[in-house]
């Protein structure tokens, strides 16, 4: 059977159902089977693997996942795509499409119901650009038991997620995701292989779940509060950002200076120069003075 992800078959399917793209849902469908092969190869799928897909579109990636994985559960928010998916994925009996916004779904519960007996769970998806970060963070924070993610997203966001300290891309998003996973850009995807063509190139990023977080901290919530505060205004020093952004920071400036000294971090440094380990030391040193403001 001819792959869904070719320009002619994609056009045929869209015309058959009179489907029009919704910009608000970030719909850009892949029309190059080679890219899909590379995605499934990166995910190293096998019949012992269950896969969660988010935003299957007309099923281009889904069919490649169904051919290589044991079972695929795909979340689709757009009701107009349900009859199309029922048609395009009819040859595959190991696919289930759930009409639900993944951000509102109890994903852990669905994993328990759908993937009993599978030894691995992977998240593999071409994520809509506008909700990339909330989806990744939800799956990480809710501790959905996946081994890794192989996801396509805007190249700029992939660069930020995988960035290292001292680079202009490095920020609170890099830290939040690298706290839970090892992040690496697998390959770049040109904008020309999508219909409609987006304005920017994409990248496939591989996130491998860590057995334990990258650093141990007294309070995860406060650690992330400190990292977000540290990047609030990138040109400001760490001392100025923490003083202006932390609750009661101005009143507790002396405590902030003391914590920076304790963590062996110069107050004149900027957030982008600090490693995860330094942020962990700083967060733990600050915590006694600010713990009352953390729920």
Closest C-alpha to 52, from 158, 173, 188, 146: 146
Q: Is 103 annotated as a binding residue?
A: no
Q: Is 261 annotated as a binding residue?
A: no
First to last CA, the chain: 55
Q: Would you say 126 and 75 are in contact if contact means Cβ atoms under 8 Å apart?
A: no
Single out the residue of 76, 185, 274 nearest to residue 86, CA to CA.
76
> What's the chain's Rg over C-alpha atoms?
22
Say whether 182 counts as a known binding-site residue.
Answer: no
Q: Does 34 appear as a known binding residue?
A: no
- C-alpha distances in Å from residue 278, one per residue of 175, 244, 284: 11, 20, 10
**Nearest residue to 71 via CA among 28, 124, 109:** 124
28 is in an annotated binding site: yes
Which run of H or E residues covers position 180?
A: helix 172-180
Query: Is there a contact between 60 and 1 (Cβ–Cβ < 8 Å)?
Result: no
Q: Is 76 annotated as a binding residue?
A: yes
Helix (H, G, I), strand (E, B) or coil at 75: strand
Q: What is d(CA 248, CA 229) in angstroms, rounded to the nearest whole number?
A: 13
Output the known binding site for S-adenosyl-L-methionine: 28, 30, 55, 76, 101, 126
Output the known binding site: 28, 30, 55, 76, 101, 126
């Amino acid at each position: 059977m001819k792959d869904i992800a070719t320009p002619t078959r994609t056009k045929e399917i869209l015309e058959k159902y009179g489907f029009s793209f919704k910009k608000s849902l970030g719909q850009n469908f892949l029309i190059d089977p080679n890219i899909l092969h590379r995605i499934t190869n990166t995910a190293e799928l096998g019949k012992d693997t269950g896969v969660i897909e988010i935003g299957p579109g007309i099923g281009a990636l889904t069919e490649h996942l169904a051919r290589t994985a044991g079972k695929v559960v795909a979340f689709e928010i757009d009701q107009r795509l349900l009859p199309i998916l029922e048609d395009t994925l009819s040859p595959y009996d190991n696919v289930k499409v759930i009409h639900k916004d993944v951000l509102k779904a109890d994903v852990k519960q669905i994993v328990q119901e759908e993937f009993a007996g599978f030894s691995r769970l992977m998240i593999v998806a071409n994520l809509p650009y506008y909700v990339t970060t909330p989806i990744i963070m939800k799956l990480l924070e809710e501790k959905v038991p996946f081994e890794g993610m192989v996801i396509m997203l805007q190249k700029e966001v992939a660069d930020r997620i995988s960035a290292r300290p001292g680079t202009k891309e490095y920020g609170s998003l890099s830290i939040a995701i690298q706290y839970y996973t090892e992040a690496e850009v697998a390959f770049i995807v040109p904008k020309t292989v999508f219909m409609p063509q987006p304005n920017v190139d994409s990248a496939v990023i591989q996130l491998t779940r860590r057995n334990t977080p990258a650093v141990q901290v007294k309070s995860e919530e406060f650690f992330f509060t400190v990292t977000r505060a540290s990047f609030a205004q990138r040109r400001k020093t760490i001392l100025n950002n923490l003083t202006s952004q932390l609750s009661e920071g101005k009143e507790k400036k002396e405590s902030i200076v003391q914590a920076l000294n304790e963590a062996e971090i110069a107050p004149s440094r900027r957030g982008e120069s600090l490693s995860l380990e330094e942020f962990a030391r700083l967060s733990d040193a600050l915590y006694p003075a600010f713990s009352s403001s953390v729920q």
